[in-house]
A and B are shown apart, each in its own frame.
Chain A
Amino acid sequence: MCQRSDIPLSVKIKKINKETPFVMSFVFDYPHRALPGQFVNVWIPGIDEKPISVAFDDGKSYTIAVAAVGEMTKELAKKKVGDFIGIRGPYGTNYGSKSSQFIAMVAGGYGVAPLYFAAVQAIKAGCRVDFHHGARTKNYLLFADRVKKLKNTRYLPATDDGSLGHEGNCVNLMIETMNAGAKYDLIMTCGPEPMMKAVSDVAWKKKIDAQVSVERYMKCGLGICGNCCVDDLGIRTCQEGPIMPLSQIRKIKEFGLYHRNSVGKKHSF
């Protein structure tokens, strides 16, 4: 029998939820436990296999939240309860806090999913959380209801159109919260890279430690194919990431500037 397997396991979808106009969540039982920030590779035979963050692990089943943006994710959106999908992982590094820290979270897009999971763990460890949550408009604030229910958490939404909370982006909202006196021990961020770049610049200037999620085009998730390596460190975002400390982020020259596609060609953000 195999002790170690990186071959997809078929799991049956137990529950599907439409979370926002573009994002659906899927729940399934899975035998291996995940930490916040880690991801799994989700496989649909005949279509593709893609990396997706674990949005929650309750000790028995996983929740993933997926934005339907292209072929594989749109196909996933058509799945029904009881259908099989393939899962392998979890892979990569995770978010982590010490006990009793005051943490600023800055989330955009589906990035709120792993940060929700991180918030649940941090609160268990006795931390307080300011959850800055940005989206285009109110309806796109993924997982807002879940985050609002968390203990010891201030939910701070920001929308481009001002339909809920602060009008504008969530990085500026975080700066405002800081200016109003919030003294954070740690910042965790996940979302579009230009947003995370802005967050990491603020963290660096204010000398606050930060954990940043670096997403690159991933194939194997096993540290072998090399598609997810970043310049100039050459480290692999599927192994040494996705969650990286600020000190490392500062050394990744391409962060906020460019990423590579499936054949290794550079594309600017």
Chain B
Amino acid sequence: MAVNLSVNFCGVKFKNPLVLASGILGITASSWRNVVKNGAGGVTTKSIWLTEHKGHRNPVIIANEHYMLNAVGLPDAGVEKAREEIGKYLSWKASPLIVSIVAGKVADFGEIAENIAGLKPDIIEVNISCPNVEGEFGKPFACVAADAAQVTREVKKRLDKAGVKIPISVKLSPNVENIVTIAKAVVDAGADALTVMNSMGPGMAINLEMRAPVLANKVGGLTGPALKPIAINFIHDIYKALPGTPIIGTGGVMTGEDAIEMMMAGATLVGVGTGVYYRGIEIFKKITDEMQSWCKANKISNLVSLIGAVQRHSE
């Protein structure tokens, strides 16, 4: 018999815990649905701005077997285009939709959140942690607890005022001194959930013959397999400090065992981004098959029982 992989996240039911991470194959409704067809339990959109925002020039993504470095620069056509794509996706009644939003100013976060909430996505993810637009906007909000809390409060306030009850997950940055402090500040400010984590760095790669940084933005966020132990550690610590707050664990997940490891650390949903590069778009199906096999071999009938399992063990 198949193991039950479904999870409930902030009242939203996912047929399996895998969600497409923001910024990967996230631009169109058709692309989101194609990812669902390939086995994802849900999808996150590319981060959406209020108005059009140009990204960086190419090269924006480079990779090898060890890492991916990206500085796409959050290109997006703004809320008008998003309305069309989100409407189309929701009309297909595919799997749950998490809409990622981004802004350069606190008030704009509220504005875009209210706009997006009107479209009734299942969850809103608040991206305060992109490391690739520092040139334009300075240090991400996720780097200072008070800033992170302020954005969260603003988004909550605007959603409450509009009378919509859509859970928000705030996406944290790993590039901070104490991620637990930030997590607590954000949850105190009203976040329903946390996405842990965005990319690390920034990092740089140099072409020797041309003596030039390869990314047009010179630096970019590091993602891929090496992120996993860092993400596991952060999720573990945050879950321990905030046991009631659901977590989307993201960073370096490649296999079913990686996903289960994330869940044991404390994640309810598991984000997959860079894994698409390493294992193809079929990665979602591959991971759920591997989760099934592991659960069967270890006599787990319900995946949910594994969430935070390592904590109970270490207590």
State whether the Cβ of B72 lies closer than 8 Å to any Cβ in chain A.
Answer: yes
Contacts of B276 in A (CB 8 A): 223-224
Is the beta-carbon distance between B207 and A8 smaller than 8 angstroms? yes
Q: How far is the CB of A257 from chain B (nearest CB, A)?
A: 14
* A5, A50, A232, A233 pick with most chain B CB within 10 angstroms: A232
CB contact between B30 and one of A45, A88, A234 (< 8 Å): that residue: A234
Is the beta-carbon distance between B30 and A233 smaller than 8 angstroms? yes
- Complex Cα gap A50–B60 (Å): 11
- Complex Cα gap A122–B60 (Å): 36
Residue of A nearest to B72 (CB): A225
- B32-45: CB near A (< 8 Å → 1, else 0) gives 11110100000000
Contacts of A69 in B (CB 8 A): none
Which of the 9-residue segments B21-29, B178-186, B258-266 touches chain A? B21-29
Residue of B nearest to A6 (CB): B63
Q: How far is the CB of A69 from chain B (nearest CB, A)?
A: 16
Main secondary structure of the interface of A (DSSP, over half): loop
Total number of residue pairs linking A and B with CB closer than 8 Å:
135
CB within 8 Å of B: which A1-34 residues: 2-8, 10
Interface size class for chain B? Answer: 35 or more
Is the beta-carbon distance between A219 and B58 smaller than 8 angstroms? yes
- Complex Cα gap A230–B35 (Å): 13
State whether the Cβ of A48 lies closer than 8 Å to any Cβ in chain B.
Answer: yes
Is the beta-carbon distance between A265 and B214 smaller than 8 angstroms? no
Is the beta-carbon distance between A224 and B277 smaller than 8 angstroms? yes
Q: How far is the CB of B81 from chain A (nearest CB, A)?
A: 6
Q: List 15 A-B contacts (CB under 8 A).
A: A5-B64, A6-B63, A47-B57, A86-B210, A219-B58, A223-B25, A224-B61, A226-B24, A229-B28, A230-B30, A232-B33, A234-B28, A236-B281, A260-B27, A263-B55
Residues of B within 8 A of A (CB): 24-35, 37, 46, 52-55, 57-66, 68, 70, 72, 75-77, 81, 205, 207-210, 212, 214, 216, 274, 276-277, 280-281
